[in-house]
Each structure stands twice: as structure tokens, then as C-alpha cells.
Amino acid sequence: MYSNRKTNQWRLVLYSSMLVITMITVDVVAGDSLDTDKEVLLILKAFLQEQNRVNQGEYSIWNQISNDPCEWPRISCNGENRVTAVNLAGSKISGEVFRNFSSLTALSHLDLSMNTLSGAVPEDLSQCLSLKYLNLSFNILESELKLHGLSQLTVLDLAVNRFYGDMKTSFPGICTNLVVLNVSLNNFTGRIDEYFDECLNLQYLDLSSNNFSGDVWVGFTRLREFSVADNNLSGVILPSVFNGNCSLVNLDLSENNFSGRVPKEISNCRNLVTLNLWGNKFTGVIPSEIGGISSLKSLSLGNNTFSRVIPESLLELSSLVLLDLSRNNFGGDIQDIFGKFTQVKFLVLHSNSYRGGIYSSGILKLPNVSQLDLSHNNFAGCLPVEVAQMQSLKYLFLAYNQFNGTIPPEYGNLLHLQALDLSFNSLTGSIPTTIGKLNSLLLLMLARNMLTGPIPKELGNCTSLLWLNLSNNKLNGTIPSELKNIGTNVGPTFESNNQDKDQVVVGSGECLEMKRWIPGDYSPFSFVYTTPSRKSCRNKWDQLLKGNGGFPMCTPGSSIRTSKISGYIQLSGNQLSGQVPPEIGKMHNFSMLDMGFNKLHGELPAEIGQLPLVVLNLSRNSFSGDIPMEMGNMKCMQNLDLSYNNFSGKFPISLNSLTELSKFTVAYNPLISGVIPSSGQLATFEEESYLGDPLLILPTFIKNSPNYEDGGDTLLIHPEFINNSTDHEDEVIGQGFYNGMGIGFAVGFWGVCASLIFIRSWRYSYYRFLNFSYDWLYVRLQKMCLEADD
């Protein structure tokens, strides 16, 4: 017994020793692995800092707060202290993708989204064999897709990049475990009906906004979400596609070339919440069987050639929130059935050539409508006063019709209204002062009408108003100082929209509305023209209404940018007069101000230099006095038009500090004097930017004709131009000049003076004549000097 007890003691010692040795070995190995991960991350940090020397992200403080990489921001580890996740989303990273992520052998989660990474995806990423989540979305990566080794991936997001070619090198090879695949908004080509049959775990597939062609993949009904919107797919959707089990929740086939009838078997998808068939070539009747999909919330059938008859069964869709039947060329009166969709909140009927039916259809009595879009039709007569009774209304679009008469003051009772677009009609009368009661108003579009009277000072009560367009009317009077209050308290409206429980993305009118709403030269919103897909417009529309996805705006007086929603004011093409109120300097939420083609006069207030403007247009007015030197503080200015005014005094050299200026003109301000610097931003513009300013001295390289010769800071006439003129031409020109001057002085001096004072077009013509006369006199003087030298 003693022997056995001693043997057991020795065994216990041996086992304990082996356990200690094992633990030490594990700790050493784990420590080595952690040190290796740390070394790789420090190499990554150095790589990112080298490529991004300004505006660095949180990676710049790695190893400054701790020696343990598991405690570094944007890094996650597992229970064995191995780095498993690197999240650098939105870290202002540019340049190429790091080429050594595969050295992080436990890496399962990599997020590099929302940066400006460029170039190709490195082969190294295909060696990250443990990756389960890879997000490279919202960059500018440009290459074919080659991720052939990532068989463990469950989520792959490549949206909003520039990938091209087909996907055959990666699919179906990497889709064994794939659940989510998003390659939307790229440049992929080829067919899609041969890639995904083996992706048995796939549930969410977004192929939208690419250049895919051919037939649709017939296996899409086994997914939960499937989108091929905005591609070049074609053919007929066969009824057999919807046989068997259909688990679809969201189906988006919009903006393709599908044709034929919509199969009634689509009703087998009993769980559908969103059905979007907009923008195809579908014909025939709308299947009445769709009315049996009780879960349906969003139905978009616009921009097809469906029969004008709307099936009564659709009224049974008790959950329906959005109904879009726009651009089907229905014509005539609005169908009576639309007045029975009492459950609908978004009714989109734009571009249908409707002429009547606004009253008879009953749509003005729908109790739950939040958005009513009747734009781009042929409605005439007075605006319907009954709209004011639709207290749930938030967005009213009646643009591009033939409405006339006045704007009903009752519209001021729509206290929840956030967007009112009555532009491109024939409305007359004044802007109702009751509009000032709309405290939630974000957008007011009254452009391209025949409105008269002053801008009501009550608009200043619309403290949520960010986007105001009153251009091309006949408004008169002064700019009310109360406008300084608009856009000062937009937060409550954004907060309300963020809390809205209706998660359905609105219909097809966003792109149309935003292109009416946003001018082409308004750079903060240029995305409307550069990425015109409906999906982009819908997403951006949703972001704007919620105050998300802001744009870089300058801090007044500096080039430091902060991300926020920026507004604009468009007042051009009216008959506004008087001086610009100095209170304008308080409008810090606006990046565009267009007051061109009016009758504004007096000195421009220096306070305008306090605005974070990107676009400023003051052309075709009668501003006088000095151009405020404070305008040099608007560091983010890109488009500045001061032309055709009466500015005088020294040209402010402070404008040369506007290093982002891409469009600039101060033409036809003949009383401005001074020297334009031969270096800096002002020297990058052509002669047209300074035409009609004879007192300005330009650098010699600003020229558009061979009549100038380099060498000095003044304009010189090339001798060859002088020598090529004949004596007869000199004689004719000289006689015309002196005779004209004599007659003009003796007969028309006071008449011309009166015309110059009261007729603007004469005044501009006279400025051009002065400009020509200066050039002609230079020619004569240079020739005389050359003859004297000979």
C-alpha cells in the first residue's frame, strides 16, 4: 500500500510538472502570436500614416495608450488574445489597400468601408483564410473581383466602388457559407444566371446598379432579399420561377428591360413586404392576385405600360403604405379607385398625363397620406384648396403642371408639411404670409411661376427651412432681414423623421424632385447628377430628411470642414431691389446664395464674409462700392460671380486666398481698379473673368488672342498686329473714331448720360464700347511709339 501511495505521489508530481510545462509552452506560443499580431498592426499603422499624412484616424494612437493591441481602438481580440477584427470604417484612409492582412492569421472580421481606398484588391486578401466578414464598400476600388480563397466568408460587401468584369473568378468558389452579398453600384458585367446555384446559404443578394445582362437567375425565390435594380437584364419572367416555396421578403427588379406580363404566380411569395417592378416593359393587366399578399407594404409598378384598370383586389392590402403607379401614361382623369386606398401613406402618380380627377377621385380626402406626388401631369385651373384638409400631409409635389391663380393661404394650415413644390406652373399673386406658420418646412420650391409682390418677412418664422427656391418669378421689394432666421432650428424636424416608424423607402419621384430642387452647379449636392440611379436618390433623400449623411462645410473664416446638412437660397431672376441686409452674415447653415438678375443695389455688407459659402452669384445687379475684402474669408468658395455690377475701388487681393475657386468672374465692373496678382488662384482664370474692367491690370499670360505679348505686368500689343493693318484701314478707323466722338459729344452727350442712368442694357453696351476703345487706343499709341523708334 505504501508503495502504491508513493507511486501515486510520483505520478501526481509528474502530471503537475507536465501541466506546468504545457501551460508555459501555451503562454509562450500565445505570447509569440500576440507579438506577431502587434508587429503587423504597427506595420499597418506606419503604412496608413505614410499614405495619409493629414486627417489620420484612431489608428494613429495605437501603441500610445497601451502595449497590448487588444486594448487599441478599432481592434478586437478573442479569448486567446489573438487579433480577430480590424475595423477602420470611416477612418479617412486613401491610397491602396494594405498588402499584409494575411499575417493576422486569426483575422475573421475586416471592415475598410467608407474611405477612399483606390486601386486593385491585393492578392493578399485571398490568403486571409479565416475571414468571415469583409466590407470594402464606399471606396473607389477599381479592378476585377478576385477573392477566390475566402471560402469561410458569410458577409461580403463591395457596394459603391468601381469593380468591373464578371464575377466568375470568385463565384461560386467563395459562396459555400455566404449569407450576405452586396456588390451594388459598381461596373460589373456579364450574366448572373450561372453564379449562385451553389450558394445554398445565401439569403441577401444585392446586384443593383451594375451592367449585368441576360436573363434573371431563376433561383432567387429561395432568398429573403433580392435586388437586380438598374441593370440591363431582359426577357420574360416565367411563371415557373415562383412555383414551390418562395421565401422572399423584398424583391426589386426595377429599371431593367423585362417584358411581357407579370406572372400571377408571384402571389406565391406570401411573405413579400416590398415588390418593385418600376421601369421595365411590362404590359397587360396588373395581376389581381397581388391583392392576396397580405404582408405587402410597398408596391411600385410605375414606368411600364400596364392597363389603366387598377384591380379592386389591391384595396385588400391592409398593410400597404406605398403605392407607386407613376409614368404609365394613364391619361384622362385620375381613376376613382385611388380615393379608396385609405391605408396608403405615399401615393405617387407623377408623369401620367392626367388632366383631371383631383376632386372626383377622392384622393384629397385620403386620411393617412403623408406624400402626394402629382407632378409632371397636365392639371390646370386653380390649386385645390381642399389639400389644406389633409392634416397628415408632409410632402406635396404639384410641380410641372398648368396650375394658375394664387397660392391658397390655407396651405399654411398644413402644420406637418416638410416639402412644398409648386414650381413650373403659372401661378400668380403673392406668396401667402401664412406659409410662415409651417415650422417643420424643410423645402419650399416656388420657382418658375409668375408670382409678384415682396418676399414675406413671415418666412423667417420657418426656422426649419433649409432649401428655398423662389427664382424666376416677378417678386419685388427688398430682401427681408427676417430671412436670417430660416434654417436656425432644423433639429426637431430631423429628430421627428428619425423617429418615424414607417421604414418604407419612398417611391420613384426622388430623382425628379431632387433635380428640380438642386441646381447643377451646387457642388455639395452634385451626386444628384453624377449618380442618378433611383436607388442612390432614394437613399440620399432619406438621409437628407433625417439630417444624416451630411456634406463637408467650412467653418466660417477657415478651411476646416465639418460634416453637416447644408442649405441654399435661390432668389435669382426676379425684380428684387434695395440693399442686402447685413443680418445675412448670421446664416451659417447655408452654402449657396444666388441673388443674380435682380435690381439689388448699394454696398454689399462685409458680413457676407462670415458665411460658409460654396456658391455665390450676385451677377446682373447694381451693387456699388468696394467688394468687401472679408469675402476672402470664405475659404471653401468654388463658384463666385460678381459680374455686371457697379463695384468700384481697389480689387480685394484677399480673394486670392480662395484656393478652391474653380469658377470666377468680376467682368463688367468698369470702376474696379488694381492689379491682379501674377500668381495664386486669381491668375488661373482666363481673360473673360475680367472683361469690361479697363482699370484692372492683368498678368500678361491671361490672354485668349495673339494681341498680347509676355514680359511685364501690363497688356502689350504684338507689333505684327500693328504692321498688318493697312494705311487705308488706319484712315477709315481714325476718321470713324474722331467723327463719332465729335458728333457724340455735340449732339448726344446728355441723352447718352440719361440712357446710361436709366437703361441697364445701354449701360452694359457702353462698358463694352469703352473696353474696345481702350484696346484701339493702345494699338494707335504702340504704332506711334514704334514709328518714333524707327
Q: What does the pLDDT read at residue 216? A: 95
Residue 231: what pLDDT?
A: 95
* Residue range 583-619, pLDDT digits in tens: 999 999 998 999 999 999 999 999 999 999 999 999 9
- Per-residue pLDDT reduced to its tens digit, 42-94: 999 999 999 998 888 899 999 887 899 999 999 999 999 999 999 999 999 99
User: Is pLDDT of 749 > 70?
Assistant: no
Task: For residue range 346-359, list pLDDT tens digits in order.
Answer: 999 999 999 999 99
Residue 405 has pLDDT above 90, yes or no: yes
In the block, cell 441593370 appears at 231
Within 13 Å, how many C-alpha atoms sit on residue 352's CB side? 30
C-alpha distance from residue 53 to each of 46, 282, 331, 736 (Å): 10, 53, 60, 64
77: helix, coil or strand? strand
Q: What is the pLDDT of residue 736?
A: 40
pLDDT digits (tens, 9 = 90+) for 412-459: 999 999 999 999 999 999 999 999 999 999 999 999 999 999 999 999
| Mean pLDDT of the 664-676 span | 96
**How far apart, in whole angstroms, are the C-alpha atoms of residue 70 and residue 83?**
7
Place 623 in a pLDDT band, splitting at 50, 70 and 90. very high
Surface-to-core class of residue 96, CB atoms within 10 Å of its CB (0-12 exposed, 13-18 middle, 19+ buried): middle
Q: What is the Cα–Cα distance from 433 to 456, expressed in whole angstroms?
A: 6
Q: How far apart are the first and last CA of the chain?
A: 136
pTM (whole model) above 0.75: yes
Question: Would the pLDDT of 179 be above 80?
Answer: yes
H or E element: which one contains 6? Answer: helix 2-51
| pLDDT value, residue 550 | 66
> Going by DSSP bridges, is the β-strand pair 561-564/551-554 parallel, antiparallel, or unpaired?
antiparallel
Looking at residues 706-726, what average pLDDT do you find?
31
| Residue listed under C-alpha cell 406659409 | 435
pLDDT for 668: 97
pLDDT digits (tens, 9 = 90+) for 1-36: 434 444 444 443 333 333 333 333 333 334 456 688
